[in-house]
Amino acid sequence: MGIVIAVMCHKGGAGKTTTVNSLAGYYAQSGYKTLIIDADEQASIKTLFSMRLSNADGGLASILIDKLMPETMIQKTPYENIDVILSGGRKMKEFESKAFQDQSCLTRMSTLCNGLRSRYDIILIDTAPAIGAISVNVVSFADYVLLVSEPDLLGAMGARSTEQFITKEVGKDLNLKIPKILGVVFTRFDQRRAADNNAIDEMDTYASKGHLGGGKVFEPIRQDAKIRTAQARRKTIFQYAPKSNAGVDYANLGQDLLEEIKITPKGKPSGLASLLEANP
């Protein structure tokens, strides 16, 4: 059965979509059959994989609203081992309004999408910065959550707020199953900036006190212009520049996550060395 990892932070611009895109590229090239579910109405995943607008109709919104079979919403990408379920764009707002009238909507994603686990090794969910019914659905469906933050005060506050949303609002107040929080990763990190280093030190202290749901602070993703270039060319960092700082950092993060989850399917290569060997 496949695992479900939600990439979350209730702050815009933290790097969630880039992280989902990059992890998908790493896992796909390492031999893992990977599905991305776009749970953000901005639908940025569609753009990154150069998918036509006509293919955006339906998606996750139609699964949640019309209870369509998730398998019918799967879209192929140009890359082997990466499939996508698009968000449905603005139609996501319609589900938010319906969910306030029907509490069963809060676990609809878990109910309808559970069968996808048998088709994929890893399912990655890109999430919106807003808190709402879709966020609750994502949390109740996921096995694990990776928090993403920029290395600054507001970013760190966003990550902490997301942790509280998961543990308190979803877990305690709604009494729903919640995923394990793996920890937080900082993006666009520049070691020369004191503020960046301070943000990591403060989050390390926060985690050491038992916060972050028992998760850890992962090694940061260094700021790298090659990420933007890869996106402009509609490629993941591993198709464009696997040996770049960002490529190395995301490969290490991808492997660290697998080690935290303790999953290494037999016969599937993983690790930075094997990935770079495949991209000389």
- Domain spans, the chain: 3-278
**Strand partners of residue 145:** 6, 181
pLDDT at 7 over 80: yes
Residue 225 has phi, psi (to 5 degrees) of -65, -20
Predicted confidence (pLDDT) at residue 211 exceeds the cutoff of 90:
no
**Residue that the structure tokens 């878990």 belong to:** 110
pLDDT digits (tens, 9 = 90+) for 222-259: 999 999 999 999 999 999 999 999 999 999 999 999 99
pTM of the predicted structure, to 2 decimals: 0.92
What is d(CA 66, CA 46) in angstroms, rounded to the nearest whole number?
21
Q: In what order do the strands lie in the sheet with 3-8?
A: 74-76, 82-85, 34-39, 122-127, 3-8, 144-149, 180-186, 216-217
3-278: in CATH 3.40.50.300: yes
Neighbour-count burial for 227-262, b at 16+ CB within 10 Å, e otherwise: beebbeebbbbbbbbbebbbbbbbbbbbbbbbebee
d(CA 106, CA 124): 19
Between CA 92 and CA 95 the distance in angstroms is 5
Q: Which helix (H) or strand (E) holds 216?
A: strand 216-217
